[in-house]
A and B are shown apart, each in its own frame.
Chain A
Amino acid sequence: MIPTTSTSGTQRRRAGWVLGSPLLLFALLFVAYPVYQGIQTGFFGLTLQDPTVPFVGLANYAKLFASSGFLDASRFTLGFAAVVTVLETVLGLGLALLVNRAFPGKKLLFTLLLLPIMIAPALLGVMFRLLLNGDIGLVPGLLHGLGLDISLFAPDRVVPLLVLLDVLQWTPFTFLVIYAGMQSFPTEVLEAAAIDGAGRWRTLVSIVVPLLMPVISAAVFLRLIDAIRTFDVIYVLTAGGPGTMTTTLSIYVYKAAFESGNFGLAAAASTIVMVVLLPFVPLLVRRVARTAEDQA
């Protein structure tokens, strides 16, 4: 404890309020007020075409659950998020086990593995378009060379394609989280999993995975909440199409607000998403608190 006389105690308290005021001001203006306005807008018929703002009660919510658009988007988002999270966690774990030993060029390769995380998802979307373009893309070109002339964005291929791209983009993230967590475990045990020969798979399943469970679940949790919010890459690549097939909840809300101009409906939809995610907040808060203590 800092020894304080009563004058310096008053001075310190005052200094606390002075120094804290920027955050307080920002939080009121740009966090609390938008949250309030977001929830409130959901109860009004606010549209770009009709700025007279009639109060409509729960009509926006009723409309959401009556139309197939919102429910389809919820289903697609949850399914997509679950599938990519599982794939990326398994692959990230495999990659972390592979990298978790000394080998030539490790430092450079580690940096290269992390590069995709640093690229703006929207720009990655642009790069995917280049790669997959039917006229000039490398992938259709290679497929053509193999005698396969297929449209990658056809309805029956677009979802697996988006899953594959998401795996390419985010496996480095799950790898990073798991690899970082591994560094606090005894190396001998983890190395045992890498030793060739009998029982390797058994060691992995019965010793390594249970040992790493806290780290793995952290990766799953972080990746899942980000996957549920997916917007950039899919919007740039398919804009939610063909039709509404690949419309995530974020794309649904964006389109409802800024293409259909129905702010009330969009606000109601995003309020539902927020309420669904709210129970997970304490989980995250505990996790972050633990991380902060680990660093201290």
Chain B
Amino acid sequence: MIRRHRLWGTTIAVALVALLINVPWLNALFVSLRSDADISTGPITISGVTGSHYANALGAAGYDFPRFFLNSLLIALGTVALVLFIAVPSIYATVRLGFGGRWIMSTASGLRLLPAIFFAVPYFLLMANLGLLDTVPALVVANTFLNLPLAVILLGAGFRDVPVEVEEAAQVDGASPYRILVAVVMPMLAPTLVAVAVLVFIFSWNDYLFALVLASSRATPITLGAANFVTSTGIRWGDISAATVLSTLPPALFAVFAQRYLVNGLSAGAVKG
């Protein structure tokens, strides 16, 4: 009996910590479900639950949030596609076909250390010269740059795990290196590819710094849109809460499903402050 009590004691203690660190999100959820009158009366006043703030955030009030969501989605999906397109063949070539060498992996992990802000000015100048300021492609490129190190590190480990004998067998059967990569290696590597895709999606969805530097209106993603909204109007609390809660859902859902990949991904390093 005493042991059982201690176990539940741990549950309660951990639950309290989990509650505490999720207070900002829970508070936003709570604000988003209350009427404007309740919100302005007091921080815990509630006379009923309303979905009107969610309707407003999704277009009813004429805000730009639907476009911000669309931009975030395009940027995140575009980044996932470009990262995989660049990293999968290149890292396979590095690990198996003698392209480049160890320095590719070293440079990738070294880039993890450099502050993203260093690249703000050069990327702004570069995109201005290319005529790409305030476009989704500019943000796709910037986020690809931010996430490539992570993809290189995870894929490097993944490709090394594939048994060489499988590839040898395919080669003896006369398959070209391209065919071996697409038909033999990539299916075996599916879990790693999914992990990389999920992490890159989360981190590019969450980017703020490069959005602030490169986007001004048309290409604004939800992180920038929400932050601008709260500084410019600062009174539509219910609507801003609804938009914020909605925009945390895609990464949070992915995180729940891809939890076991988080550890490696995060310590390999793609968390941006």
Could you say which residues of chain A place their CB within 8 Å of the CB of B233?
A: none
A273 and B114 alpha carbons, distance in the complex (Å): 9
Known: A19-B177, A176-B262. A127 touches B89 (CB 8 A): no
Contact A141 B43 (CB under 8 A): yes
Complex contact B97–A253 (CB within 8 A): no
When C-beta atoms are compared, the residue in chain A nearest to B181 turns out to be A19
User: What residue of chain A has the Cβ atom nearest to residue B108's Cβ?
Assistant: A288
CA distance A138 to B100 in the complex (A): 55
Measured in the bound complex, the distance between the Cα atoms of B123 and A24 in whole Å is 18
Q: Nearest chain B CB to A23's CB is how many angstroms away?
A: 3
* Chain A neighbourhood of B89, CB < 8 A: 19-20, 22
- Interface residue from A18, A20, A30 paired with B94 (Cβ < 8 Å): A20
Interface contact A230-B167, CB-CB below 8 Å: no
Determine if B44 is an interface residue (Cβ-Cβ < 8 Å). yes
Over the window 132-158 of chain A, the binary record of Cβ atoms lying under 8 Å from chain B Cβ atoms (1 yes, 0 no) is: 010111101110000000000000000
**Do residues B40 and A135 form an inter-chain contact, with CB atoms below 8 A?**
yes
Determine whether the beta carbon of B117 is less than 8 Å from that of A98. Answer: no
A263 to B124, CA, bound (A): 10
Partner of B119, one of A38, A140, A296: A38
Q: Which of A16, A227, A257, A295 contacts B124 (CB 8 A)?
A: A257
Residue in B closest to A125 when the chains form the complex, CB atoms: B227
**Residue A274 lies at the interface, judged by CB distance under 8 Å to chain B:** yes
Residues of A within 8 A of B273 (CB): 121, 226-227, 229-233, 250
Q: Is the CB of B15 within 8 A of A131?
A: no
Stretch of A63-71, A108-116, A185-193, A198-206 that contacts chain B: A108-116
Say whether, besides A20-B89, A23-B90, A274 and B97 are in contact (CB < 8 Å): no
CB distance from B98 to the nearest CB of A (A): 6
Known A3-B168, A114-B259: A253·B125 in contact at CB below 8 Å: no
Could you mark each residue 265-296 of chain A with 1 if its beta carbon is under 8 Å from any beta carbon of chain B, else 0?
Answer: 01100110110010011001100110110011
Q: Is B200 on the interface with A (CB-CB < 8 A)?
A: no
Could you tell me if A41 and B115 are in contact, using CB atoms closer than 8 angstroms?
no
Report the interface size for chain B: residues with CB under 8 A from the other chain: 111
Query: Which one of A18, A31, A171 contacts B111 once the chains associate, using CB atoms below 8 Å?
Result: A31
- CB-CB under 8 A from B110, the residues of chain A are 281, 284-285
SS class of chain B's interface: helix, strand, loop or mixed? helix
CB distance from B237 to the nearest CB of A (A): 6
* A273, B118: Cα distance in complex, Å: 8
The residues of A that contact B77 with a CB separation of less than 8 Å are none
A222 touches B145 (CB 8 A): no
The yes or no answer to A34 lying at the interface (CB within 8 A) is yes
Is B80 interfacial (CB 8 A cutoff)? no
Contact A291-B264, Cβ < 8 Å, known A17-B99, A22-B86, A253-B120? yes
| Residue of A115, A173, A180 with most chain B CB atoms under a 10 A cut-off | A115
Q: Report whether over half of chain A's contact residues are helix, strand or loop; otherwise say mixed.
A: helix
Contact partners of A126 in chain B: CB under 8 A: 28, 226-227, 230, 240, 244
Check if B118 sits within 8 Å of A2, measured CB to CB. no
Q: Contact between B44 and A117 (Cβ–Cβ < 8 Å)?
A: no
Q: Are A41 and B122 in contact (CB under 8 A)?
A: yes
A110–B11 alpha-carbon span in the complex (Å)? 11
Partner of A270, one of B105, B121, B259: B121
B114 touches A274 (CB 8 A): yes
B223 at the interface (CB under 8 A from A): yes
Partner among A31, A253, A289 whose Cβ is within 8 Å of the Cβ of B145: A31
Interfacial residues of chain B within 221-252, with CB under 8 A of chain A in the complex: 222-224, 226-227, 230-231, 237, 240-241, 244, 247-248, 251-252
Contact B237 A288 (CB under 8 A): no
A266 CA to B202 CA, complexed, in Å: 29
Report A116-129 CB contacts with B as 1/0, cut-off 8 Å.
Answer: 11111111111111
B1 to chain A, nearest CB (A): 15
Interface centre among B39, B104, B114, B124 (most CB of A within 10 A): B114
From B24, B90, B160, B177, residue with most partner A Cβ within 10 Å: B24
Q: Which one of A13, A22, A112, A225 lies within 8 Å of B22 (CB-CB)?
A: A112
B240 A34 Cβ-Cβ under 8 A: no
The smallest C-beta distance from B247 to any residue of chain A, in angstroms, reads 6
Alpha-carbon gap, A1 to B96, bound state (A): 10
The one of B99, B118, B124 in contact with A19, judged by C-beta atoms closer than 8 angstroms, is B99
Name 11 A/B residue pairs within 8 A (Cβ), A-sorted: A11-B176, A19-B99, A23-B90, A34-B126, A114-B255, A120-B248, A130-B27, A173-B271, A226-B272, A231-B208, A271-B118
**Extra inter-chain contacts (16) besides given A116-B24, A168-B24, A258-B120, CB under 8 Å:** A104-B8, A105-B15, A106-B11, A112-B22, A115-B22, A119-B25, A120-B206, A126-B28, A168-B20, A258-B212, A273-B118, A274-B114, A277-B114, A284-B109, A285-B109, A292-B153
Residues of A within 8 A of B (CB): 1-3, 8, 11-13, 15-24, 26, 30-31, 33-35, 37-38, 41, 95, 98-99, 101-106, 109-131, 133, 135-138, 140-142, 168-169, 171-173, 176-177, 180, 218, 222, 225-233, 235-236, 249-250, 253-254, 257-258, 263, 266-267, 270-271, 273-274, 277, 280-281, 284-285, 288-289, 291-292, 295-296
